[in-house]
């Protein structure tokens, strides 16, 4: 197999493994087993596991953000689009990505490269939501006084409810609760 395809296969195997079991299971040996190669080959292509774990995390969560943000443009109006994003993020179909996030927050405290990537991806989510809120302000749907901090509150609410759901401790209608809370924040 050509080197670029081998490297891609190793990355894809690591992404699949992380989506299945979280980033905490990513080791040279587990990735090698998932890719069907020797641990030495993984170490050859990815000599720094901290950087590789950060790359795998980034690939997973950036793909989710792109997918979620791209799925809502057909929805008319900033409020309706934000509600659609909340529904998507809290529908329970993304527990694999939630586990990756939760483990990355914890491991990022000791893995500087992962911590930097977590901050980068959190900033990207925050910026995307700020843009939606700003669009709502510009369209007169959201009062400027209510816009400040709305994206942060939305992220905190979604992240918290999703993290709670991993241990089966979340309201049955968490998307509805989040929409009601967001409506109160946005005025």
DSSP per residue, 73-91: TTS-SHHHHHHHHHHHHTS
Distance in angstroms (rounded) separating the CA atoms of residues 181 and 187? 10
Residue spans of alpha helices (H) in the chain? 3-21, 28-35, 39-45, 49-71, 78-89, 95-107, 112-138, 144-147, 150-166, 174-186
64/41 same-domain check? no
CB 150 within 8 A of CB 85: no
Q: Tokens representing 99? A: 């586990």
- Count of structural domains within the chain: 2
CATH number at residue 121: 1.10.357.10
Which CATH number belongs to the domain containing residue 12 in this structure?
1.10.10
From 47, 66, 84, give the residue that closes a domain: 47
| pLDDT number for residue 45 | 96
The confidence score (pLDDT) of residue 112 equals: 98
Q: Which domain holds residue 43?
A: 1-47
pLDDT tens for the 187 residues of the chain, in order: 899 999 999 999 999 999 999 999 999 999 999 999 999 999 999 999 999 999 999 999 999 999 999 987 778 899 999 999 999 999 989 999 999 999 999 999 999 999 999 999 999 999 999 999 999 999 999 999 888 889 999 999 999 999 999 998 878 888 888 888 888 888 8
DSSP character at residue 72 = S
Query: Do 29 and 102 fall into the same domain?
Result: no
Same domain, 88 and 158: yes
- 70 and 152 share a domain? yes
């Amino acid at each position: 197999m050509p080197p670029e395809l081998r490297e891609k296969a190793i990355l894809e195997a690591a992404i699949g493994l992380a989506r299945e079991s979280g980033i905490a299971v990513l080791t040279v040996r587990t990735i090698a087993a998932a890719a069907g190669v020797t641990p030495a080959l993984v170490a050859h292509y990815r000599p720094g596991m901290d950087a590789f774990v950060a790359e795998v995390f980034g690939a997973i969560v950036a793909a989710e953000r792109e997918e979620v943000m791209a799925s809502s443009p057909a929805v008319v109006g900033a409020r309706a689009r934000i509600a659609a994003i909340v529904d998507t993020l809290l529908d329970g179909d993304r527990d694999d990505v939630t586990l990756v996030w939760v483990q990355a927050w914890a491991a990022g405290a000791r893995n500087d490269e992962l911590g930097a990537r977590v901050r980068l991806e959190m900033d990207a989510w925050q910026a995307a939501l700020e843009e939606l809120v700003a669009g709502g302000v510009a369209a007169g749907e959201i009062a400027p006084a209510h816009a400040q901090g709305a994206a942060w509150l939305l992220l905190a609410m979604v992240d918290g409810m999703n993290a709670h759901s991993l241990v089966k401790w979340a309201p049955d209608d968490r998307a509805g609760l989040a929409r009601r809370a967001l409506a109160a924040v946005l005025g």
